[in-house]
């Protein structure tokens, strides 16, 4: 299990070019069935232990219906740490962004419950006090994700749009960003994920996910990477202040984010 996570992945040049143009890419056979089965069990067990959501789905707001979230699992147990700090995944992130290396910003388990609602249109980097767009998220399903389970949907190349970047995730972002994207020429991409398939998307590309219409939990692990030389910027909203204090405490504005919570994973 562990050895695969440290083995290089042969990333085709056309995948890098596709990412640079569209700011997302889906890659097949990043992980194998045995590795996923092992970490599915380990991560699911830890998510179940740490989750404190007791409110029924129909009593939650749109964001609350989207998924159960658990953060920084790598700090909780050795299995999660091995997965999150994978050099294989870090290598892919660095090569797609064309950086010398990457640090961890944080990890995040996103478990969309059976019957769980949509994840509204949004751009992740609205929340991040980071000085450049050299950021990328690995979206790693722990099982196959058919269309009915709510895979990620991307607006290819939409990182070029500034309008909508100021919106936090919710009903407002779903409506306003969808309306804005309808009048663009960006391709809307929604596809199922095969077992072992992993997508990577940048912090400013707009994306969403559909509802989980199945009777099974959609189990996804994500890692957010940043350029290993990323600097902290002056926060521009309350969410960025919170992220500074939560994910990179002790980092200083205009300095490289080199804290114990942000290890270099590759490079």
In a domain, 194, yes or no: yes
In a domain, 197, yes or no: yes
In a domain, 113, yes or no: yes
The pTM is what?
A: 0.91
Number of domains in the chain: 1
Digit-by-digit pLDDT tens for the chain (267 residues) are 568 999 999 999 999 999 999 999 999 999 999 999 999 999 999 998 888 655 665 655 654 544 578 999 999 999 999 999 999 999 999 999 999 999 999 999 999 999 998 989 899 999 999 999 999 999 999 999 999 999 999 999 999 887 777 777 788 878 888 887 876 879 999 999 999 999 999 999 999 999 999 999 999 999 999 999 999 999 999 999 999 999 999 999 999 999 999 999 999
DSSP assignment letter at 149: G
In a domain, 266, yes or no: no
The answer for 31, left when phi > 0, alpha when psi is -120 to 50, beta otherwise, is beta
| Cβ–Cβ under 8 Å, residues 90 and 54 | no
Range of 10's domain? 2-261
Q: Which helix (H) or strand (E) holds 10?
A: none
CATH of the domain at 33: 2.60.120.620
By CB atoms closer than 10 A (0-12, 13-18, 19+), residue 160 is exposed
In a domain, 267, yes or no: no
Q: Beta-strand (E) ranges in the chain? A: 24-27, 68-71, 102-112, 119-122, 135-141, 152-155, 188-190, 198-202, 207-209, 218-227, 264-266
For residue 242, give every residue at least 6 positions away whose Cβ sits within 8 Å of its Cβ, in sequence order, or none. none
218, two tokens: 């959609």
């Amino acid at each position: 299990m562990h050895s695969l996570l440290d083995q290089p992945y042969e990333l085709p040049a056309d995948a890098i070019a596709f990412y640079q143009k569209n700011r997302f890419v889906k890659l097949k056979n990043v992980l194998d069935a045995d590795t996923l089965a092992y970490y599915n069990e380990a991560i699911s067990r830890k998510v179940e232990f740490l989750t404190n959501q007791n409110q029924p789905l129909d009593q939650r707001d749109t964001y609350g219906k989207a998924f159960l979230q658990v953060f920084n699992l790598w700090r909780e147990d050795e299995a999660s740490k091995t997965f999150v700090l994978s050099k294989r995944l870090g290598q892919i992130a660095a090569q797609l962004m064309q950086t010398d290396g990457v640090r961890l910003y944080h990890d995040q388990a996103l478990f969309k419950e059976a019957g769980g609602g949509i994840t509204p249109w949004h751009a992740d980097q609205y929340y991040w006090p980071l000085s450049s767009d050299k950021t990328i998220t690995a979206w790693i399903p722990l099982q196959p994700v058919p269309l009915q389970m709510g895979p990620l949907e991307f607006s290819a190349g939409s990182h070029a749009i500034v309008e909508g970047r100021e919106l936090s995730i919710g009903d407002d972002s779903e409506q306003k960003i969808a309306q804005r994207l309808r009048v663009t020429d960006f391709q809307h991409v929604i596809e199922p994920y095969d077992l072992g398939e992993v997508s990577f998307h940048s912090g400013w590309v707009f994306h969403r996910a559909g509802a989980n219409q199945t009777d099974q939990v959609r189990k996804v692990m994500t890692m957010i990477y940043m350029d290993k030389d990323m600097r902290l910027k002056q926060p521009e909203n309350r969410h960025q202040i919170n992220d500074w204090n939560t994910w990179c405490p002790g980092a200083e504005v205009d300095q490289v984010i080199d804290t114990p919570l942000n290890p270099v994973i590759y490079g």
